[in-house]
Structure 1
Amino acid sequence: MPIRSLSIGLLWMAFLACAAAAPRAEYKIVTASKTGTYIQIGRDLATWVADPADIDLEVLESKGSAENVQRMRFEPGVKLALVQSDVYQAFLDEAKAGNADAGNIIRPLRLIMPLYDEEIYFVVRADSPLNSIHEIKNQKIGVGPLGSGTALTSRTLYQLMFGEPLPPANAQYLTNEEALARLTVDKSIDVAIIVAGQPAKLFTDMKAEARNYIKILKLDEAVPETAQAKKTYFPAVIRASSYSTWLKADVPTLTVKAYLVTYDYGLQSTVGALSRFADSLCANFDKLQANGHPKWKQVRLELPPLSQGWRYYGPMEKRMRNCIARRTAVGAAAAAPPPLPRNCTEQELVLGICRR
């Protein structure tokens, strides 16, 4: 074959290969405010999971979990969301109670995997007479923005602890930054409730002088209000090491679980892209833990049984369970002790088949 014809043939084959290559998927993930932990988790997923899976993942700010559920359901391009467990359950409860809108929103949503526990911060002024979480009854509270997971968490916790709804006159729907300003500057609220996985940028950015203006209320295990709260939420500790510039001692508090959520997609191209995402999430999990937000170190690569009404997304669940099983098998083989030496028989020695 003439060289010119061969060159043309090779170029044509290369062109066909490029033309046949599938374009990178362009997806979005909804997170939370720019000073929260969710947005950093989203960026980690974009860098260490989506990119190796040939997905361009745009990380979007939001008001938080409740808005994320809505946007996951209806906003074009949003294929992933970070959602608090109590928010997800609240939508399921509303649907079960007969709320058609809640059912329409939540029933097609699916879980990818549980992530980590988010700490709940009950922030008051440094000179406040309040010292424990159960003392917030009848206080004016910044509960988070409308549409946020923080707002739902605040109201749910209040209802659990005190057996009555948070009075509307005592609730102000504010962003984290607005709540801290109202708390410390004009003093129009007494408590700011903030939900964020530690270390949260909002608090890590604070200087040593912050301790002169704010403090964090402690969880008191001895009071009945705590027992009521623990029906839905779990005890945890805000570590002084997370905010070493201004926090002097560990603070016991409560947490809520964060989940990675998607939709029950059936379009083959989307199923394929999300399956690649699942493979990449499993394959690159060690990189997430090594290079991502410190909260990744608390995430376990597993798919535990779910509560009634909660469902994993089938195509991703299958890929992840297979990958997790392979990782487990490799880890078990690596950890297996070497076989014990044994004495060979004389006949094995003569035949040269002894294996010590």
Structure 2
Amino acid sequence: MLKTILAGLTGLIALLFTTLAVADDAHYKITTGPERGTYIQIGQDLSKWVAQPAGIALDVLPSKGSAENVQRMRYEPGVKLALVQSDVYQAYVDMANSGNADAGTTIRPLRLIMPLYDEEIYFVVRNDSPMKTINEIKDKTISVGLIGSGTAQSATTLYRLMFNQPIPEQNAQHLSNEDALAALIVKKIDVAIIVAGQPAKLFTDMNPDLLRQIRFLRVDPNAPETARAKQTYFPATIRVSSYPNWLKEDVPTWTVKAFLVTYDYNLRDTVGNLNRFADSLCTNFDNLQEHGHPKWKQVKLDLPALGKGWKYYPPVERHLRACMAQRTAMRANGGTAAPQAAAANTQKVTGRPCSDQERLLLLCGK
């Protein structure tokens, strides 16, 4: 009889603790990217393999891309994490340093958790296009991506670097990736610029008949435009192995870095939850590389030195460095570095016209 009562009490206590644990689970959000982009898959991996084991319910939100992600993390309730391209983050830092108060207000409280991987920049043309290399896109009609997307920042920055001038307004189209490819195929534009980590679902899910109508432009290593682009972007290769039923040879292109970003939180519960997230990220890193998107295999569990205006989130940085040291010690008994970052937010610019750069970074009214 006593054993039965004790067993019953034990069961009730276990049920109570389970209920309390569920009730105490944090419910956070991460902003990512388009539905068929790489960012949303990375977010889903973080939700499943990192947040869940840490007792955090992490909703994965689609978005236009990096600039919108920073804004939503900064101002939307519950959004604690965002995926951001390095050139977008750097653009905010540069604008803040040049005296833009709204950019400064946005970027200063943002913090990095860690660098992730390289995202390839695709320059897509029709198969019948006379263009072969990226430096031939000058004065063509180009889809540069939606305003608020990282693609728009990368496309316009690359063009300005290569040709020492902005894309003429009449030549720039702000289309989603899917709409850009459709417009390309029906000859409404000449080039679609798309930023996505390979293999990109946008292409792997595409109808094979439509795929045969498009191809990628290549980097010409000898072009002077290529030397100028190297000031900000890094060489990359779109591999046949990423699109084996389509590509016949590797295609040299450019790449931009992706970062996991948060805010400089100081509330005890939020700090504690993000520390658990960091511990889980380190503990489950091998699961991410084994079961997550192929891009996780390029990620190093490493916190390299950052450029001026970029800062890690101190509580998470301490946890990650401690865990990384422990992993190194364990390996000794039985990475390398990455780059820099970018981000910010939005208010309307008043009393003067809005610049193209401010418009892309959502720092003014449209």
Scaled by the length of structure 1, the TM-score of the pair is 0.90
The number of equivalent residue pairs is: 333
Cα separation, partners in 2 of 1:3 and 1:235, compared to 1, 3 Å: closer
**Which residue is 1:217 aligned to?**
217
Question: What does the per-residue CA deviation read over 1:143-194, in whole Å, with 9 as the maximum and x for residues that have no partner?
Answer: 0001000001111001100111111111000000010111112x11100000
**Which residue is 1:354 aligned to?**
none
1:203 aligned partner, one-letter code: F
2:327 aligned partner, one-letter code: R
Give the CA deviation at 1:16: 6.2
Does the 8 A contact of 1:126 with 1:211 survive in 2? no
Question: Is 1:135–2:136 an aligned residue pair?
Answer: yes
2:192 aligned partner, one-letter code: A
**Which residue is 2:338 aligned to?**
none
Percent sequence identity over aligned pairs = 65
Give the CA deviation at 1:9: 6.3
**Which residue is 1:297 aligned to?**
297
Once the two structures are superposed, the pairs formed by residues 167-178 of structure 1 within 5 Å of their partners are 167-178=168-179
- Give the stretch that moved more between structures: 15-24 or 175-184: 15-24
Give the CA deviation at 1:14: 5.0
Q: Distance in 2 between matches of 1:3 and 1:214?
A: 73
Question: What does the per-residue CA deviation read over 1:18-60, in whole Å, with 9 as the maximum and x for residues that have no partner?
Answer: 5764611000000000110000000000000000000000000
Identify the structure with bigger relative contact order (alpha carbons < 8 Å, sequence gap 6+): 2
Scaled by the length of structure 2, the TM-score of the pair is 0.87
Cα separation, partners in 2 of 1:282 and 1:5, compared to 1, 3 Å: closer
2:121 aligned partner, one-letter code: I
1:315 aligned partner, one-letter code: P
* SS of 2:262 mapped into structure 1: strand
Q: Distance in 2 between matches of 1:298 and 1:314?
A: 24
**Which residue is 2:267 aligned to?**
267
Give the CA deviation at 1:252: 0.3
* SS of 1:95 mapped into structure 2: helix
* SS of 2:227 mapped into structure 1: helix
Q: Distance in 2 between matches of 1:234 and 1:132?
A: 16
Does the 8 A contact of 1:206 with 1:245 survive in 2? no
Question: Is 1:151–2:187 an aligned residue pair?
Answer: no
Q: Distance in 2 between matches of 1:208 and 1:5?
A: 66
Q: Report the structure number with the largest CA radius of gyration.
A: 1
Give the CA deviation at 1:127: 0.4
Does the 8 A contact of 1:32 with 1:39 survive in 2? yes
Once the two structures are superposed, the pairs formed by residues 182-201 of structure 1 within 5 Å of their partners are 182-185=183-186, 187-201=187-201
**Which residue is 1:28 aligned to?**
29
1:164 aligned partner, one-letter code: Q
Does the 8 A contact of 1:180 with 1:192 survive in 2? yes
Please tell me the root mean square deviation across aligned C-alpha atoms, in Å.
Answer: 1.8
Once the two structures are superposed, the pairs formed by residues 1-356 of structure 1 within 5 Å of their partners are 17=17, 21=21, 23-185=24-186, 187-334=187-334
1:124 aligned partner, one-letter code: V
Does the 8 A contact of 1:122 with 1:217 survive in 2? yes
Give the CA deviation at 1:208: 3.9
**Which residue is 1:338 aligned to?**
none
- Give the stretch that moved more between structures: 195-204 or 1-10: 1-10
Which blocks of at least 5 consecutive residues in structure 1 are unaligned? 335-356
2:53 aligned partner, one-letter code: P
Which blocks of at least 5 consecutive residues in structure 2 are unaligned? 335-366
2:106 aligned partner, one-letter code: I
Cα separation, partners in 2 of 1:213 and 1:272, compared to 1, 3 Å: same
Give the CA deviation at 1:205: 1.4
Q: Distance in 2 between matches of 1:169 and 1:24?
A: 50
Cα separation, partners in 2 of 1:246 and 1:20, compared to 1, 3 Å: closer
